[in-house]
Amino acid sequence: MATFYPVFLNLTRRRAVIIGGGQIAEGKIAKLLESAAQIIVISPVATQGIRDFAQAGKIELELRKYQHGDLQGAFLAIAATNDREVNQEIFEEAENQGILLNAVDDMPRCSFIAPSIVSKGPVTVAISTGGASPALARKLRENMEVSSVLDWAGATDVLSKARRIIKEEKMAIDPQRWQCCMTDEILEMAQNGQEEKALKTLMNSLSGKDTNGKCSNIAECVSGGCQMRKSIFAESSQKEDRMAQTTGD
């Protein structure tokens, strides 16, 4: 089984050709439109949904069978047919022209596969099992959709502004420090509309103005250091409490 390289593609104004006009092809169109791709669908028959897309001017639709040369000028292609012989012809053309191809449910003829997607705001998480089990990918997606881990999507603007400030001021911030400074407190502020307060709190932590137990060197954090320090502080505090209790007795 092939090992796929995970990647997000910029398809803005790039030609995407879909061969096939069924429900699967219709489902592919929606995501490609979100990516601002220029879409052409080629199929002798098409669902009403695909026809509606074409009538609205969102896609091109040619009601005919695939023929060699249809991928000319394409950046990406999708073979959404149930004919393996046609898929093979499409695959050979795509390979010869260096065009990325996803052949639906036909792994040997894929140069890329479509992952299961979880989206919340500007955050997108792609899940793939490399074709081993689409059912598992869907299960993981459904679990993630109800997980609180994606709540952090609500702090995207705050994190983006902080990143921009750091780049403008040419500050050297260790990547680990970001993880330590992204606290529940900052998330709660962002979710409650207190973005400026959240940004100030985050910047103080990142820049070292408010270390609060974090590494003192902002350019060279120890991996897991902040959590380690918190653990040490907690143990120290517990020892002091025990000593105080013993003294009190």
Q: Which of 181, 188, 54, 249 is nearest to 18 (CA)?
A: 54
Q: What is the pLDDT of residues 61-112, one digit of tens each?
A: 999 999 999 999 999 999 999 899 999 999 999 999 999 999 998 889 999 9
Q: Is the CB of residue 77 less than 8 Å from the CB of residue 19?
A: yes
Q: Is the CB of residue 106 less than 8 Å from the CB of residue 115?
A: no
CA 84/CA 43 separation, integer angstroms: 15
Where does the pLDDT of residue 216 fall: very low under 50, low under 70, confident under 90, or very high at 90 and above? low
- Which residue type, as a one-letter code, is found at position 126? A
Per-residue pLDDT, 232: 41
CA 122 → CA 125, 151, 163, 164, 191, distances in Å? 10, 12, 16, 17, 15
Q: Name the percent of the chain lying above pLDDT 70.
A: 84
Average predicted confidence (pLDDT) for the chain: 87
Does pLDDT of 165 surpass 50? yes
Fold category of 15-114 in CATH: Rossmann fold (3.40.50)
Domain with CATH 3.40.50.720 in the chain: 15-114
Where does the pLDDT of residue 226 fall: very low under 50, low under 70, confident under 90, or very high at 90 and above? low
Q: Is the CB of residue 42 less than 8 Å from the CB of residue 18?
A: yes
Q: Is the CB of residue 17 less than 8 Å from the CB of residue 42?
A: yes
Does pLDDT of 192 surpass 50? yes
Rounded to an integer, the average pLDDT of 158-168 is 95
Per-residue pLDDT, 218: 65
Site of tokens 């993981």: 140
Burial 58-70 (b: 16+ CB within 10 A, else e): ebebbeeebeeeb
Where does the pLDDT of residue 176 fall: very low under 50, low under 70, confident under 90, or very high at 90 and above? confident
Where does the pLDDT of residue 233 fall: very low under 50, low under 70, confident under 90, or very high at 90 and above? very low
